[in-house]
Amino acid sequence: MSLERKEPNYFGAGPALLPTSVLQQAAQDLINFQGIGLGAGEISHRSAAGANIIESTRQHLVELLDIPDTHEVFFMQGGGTTGFSSIATNLTASFAKKTGRKGTPAYVVTGSWSKKAAEEATRLGFNPDIVLDSKKVDGKFGTIPGTDKWSIPQDLSNTSYLYFCDNETVNGVEFPEFPFEKFPGVEIVADMSSNFLSKKVDVSKYGCIFAGAQKNVGLAGITVYIIKKSLLDHPTEDDLTKLNIPLSPIAFDFPTVVKNKSAYNTIPTFTVHIVDLVLQNLIQKGGLDVQQKANEQKAKLLYEALDEFPSVYKLPVEKSVRSKMNVVFTLADGSDAEFLKAAEERELTGLKGHRSVGGMRASLYNAVSLESVKLLCDFVREYGAEHA
């Protein structure tokens, strides 16, 4: 069987497109990894080869993001949804160690995923403070109101952490800048699942960053975490129980995972290896400076094409916070099925919007080429001209 393929023009939101060269190397490594006679998915996560996969991936992340020595990198299973619960238990434990109190987390809700994260924190008994719900402020998810419209506590001494989703995959909203200077001393937690490694980030500003791999850097099944080392200091389990703080399941207890170098339980070494191959590919292309410029160009081209036909395409997101990763739009006449069929006839696939909101969504992740985006822009203009 050939490892060659025609380059797909695929805009799915996740699991998403990966570079063909990465998949070709991964296919070979699945059979025989570095000549050891076993595939990368067969070796023990605690063997020298398995440990080297984890460490190589960690080092390449440090290189790409210029992660300071103050922060640790580790990997866990479970995806972003598991992060909703593990963040709440672990960051609260960190706060309790520092203050002796349970505290109250603050959540910024700008779309479906931050809403789900806040709901999980509520379900687990953390009673989060919703400092912003953009849907309640502006009537929809499609804006990020200025901090003057946020309900920021005057006294932040009991705020255990502040959580936000940097890019809302479903709703097409992305933070254009870091707006959390009004939370001095509070640990900032960012879900970057759908824009991770799409741009440069000052990691030092964050207490914790996490990202499911299946959007921009790999396959489903592994999640990347970057956390301040100081936040890995937790109270005893007895002390947590006395403070009515739920214990983290042991496989999702951050200090345990870090102490065991991401291999406390059976981490999927092959999945981590694919992340490493993606990272190496990014480094070879010139790093995040180059990738960010490419992503900005792709997004600019597509938004310009859609904006040319306001009677045909409706873009629900305020221009200043439009996502560069997930471009969402609807057809004014409701002809979604016709649009999708015509796009698929041109081999432009993965454009159907999330089931919760409908419409269209073109995800422009790192592996989506400029050529693919130009083909999509040509189609958008032709369809627009025919239906204007």
Indicate the DSSP class of residue 329. E
Judge if 168 and 69 occupy the same domain: yes
The pLDDT tens digits for 212-259 are 999 999 999 999 999 999 999 999 999 999 999 999 999 999 999 999
Give backbone dihedrals phi and psi of 132, rounded to 5 degrees, phi first. Answer: -155, 130
Judge if 265 and 305 occupy the same domain: no
Asked if the structure places residue 26 within a domain, the reply is no
pLDDT of residue 207: 98
> Cα torsion at 164, 170, 174, 178 (round to 10°)?
10
Judge if 255 and 309 occupy the same domain: no
Asked if the structure places residue 38 within a domain, the reply is no
Q: List, as one string, the DSSP characters of 133-149.
A: EHHHHHSSSS----GGG
Q: Which of 248, 282, 316 is the last residue before a domain boundary?
A: 282
Asked if the structure places residue 189 within a domain, the reply is yes
Tokens standing for residue 248: 């983290």
Judge if 61 and 143 occupy the same domain: yes
Judge if 237 and 298 occupy the same domain: no
* Among 53, 8, 71, 41, CA closest to 275: 53
pLDDT tens for the chain, 388 residues long, are 789 999 999 999 999 999 999 999 999 999 999 999 999 999 999 899 999 999 999 999 999 999 999 999 999 998 889 999 999 999 999 999 999 999 999 999 999 999 999 999 999 999 999 999 999 999 999 999 999 999 999 999 999 999 999 999 999 999 999 989 999 999 999 999 999 999 999 999 999 999 999 999 999 999 999 999 999 999 999 999 999 999 999 999 999 999 999 999 999 999 999 999 999 999 999 999 999 999 999 999 999 999 999 999 999 999 999 999 999 999 999 989 999 999 999 999 999 998 888 899 999 999 999 999 999 999 999 999 999 8
Judge if 255 and 301 occupy the same domain: no
Asked if the structure places residue 5 within a domain, the reply is no
Judge if 252 and 293 occupy the same domain: no
pTM, entire model: 0.97
Tokens standing for residue 244: 């009515």
How many other C-beta atoms lie within 10 A of the C-beta of residue 349?
14
Judge if 85 and 141 occupy the same domain: yes
Catalytic residue numbers, as ranges: 113, 191, 215
Residue 146 to residue 148: CA distance in whole angstroms: 5
CATH of the domain at 353: 3.90.1150.10
> Cα torsion at 37, 41, 42, 45 (round to 10°)?
110
Judge if 117 and 242 occupy the same domain: yes
The pLDDT tens digits for 82-135 are 999 999 999 999 999 999 999 999 999 999 999 999 999 999 999 999 999 999
pLDDT of residue 147: 93
Query: Does residue 31 contact residue 189 with C-beta atoms inside 8 Å?
Result: no
pLDDT of residue 78: 86
Judge if 278 and 294 occupy the same domain: no
Judge if 149 and 195 occupy the same domain: yes
Judge if 377 and 240 occupy the same domain: no
Indicate the DSSP class of residue 111. S
Residue 219 to residue 334: CA distance in whole angstroms: 33
Output the CA–CA distances (angstroms, integers) from residue 23 to 28, 109, 200, 267, in the order listed: 9, 36, 25, 20
Q: Which of 226, 252, 282 is the last residue before a domain boundary?
A: 282
Residue 222 to residue 271: CA distance in whole angstroms: 7
Asked if the structure places residue 368 within a domain, the reply is yes
pLDDT of residue 324: 98
Q: Which of 255, 282, 309 is the last residue before a domain boundary?
A: 282
CATH of the domain at 97: 3.40.640.10
Domain ranges, residue 328: 288-387
| 350-367 CB burial, b ≥16 within 10 A, e <16 | bbbbbeebebbbbbbbbb
Report how many domains make up the chain: 2
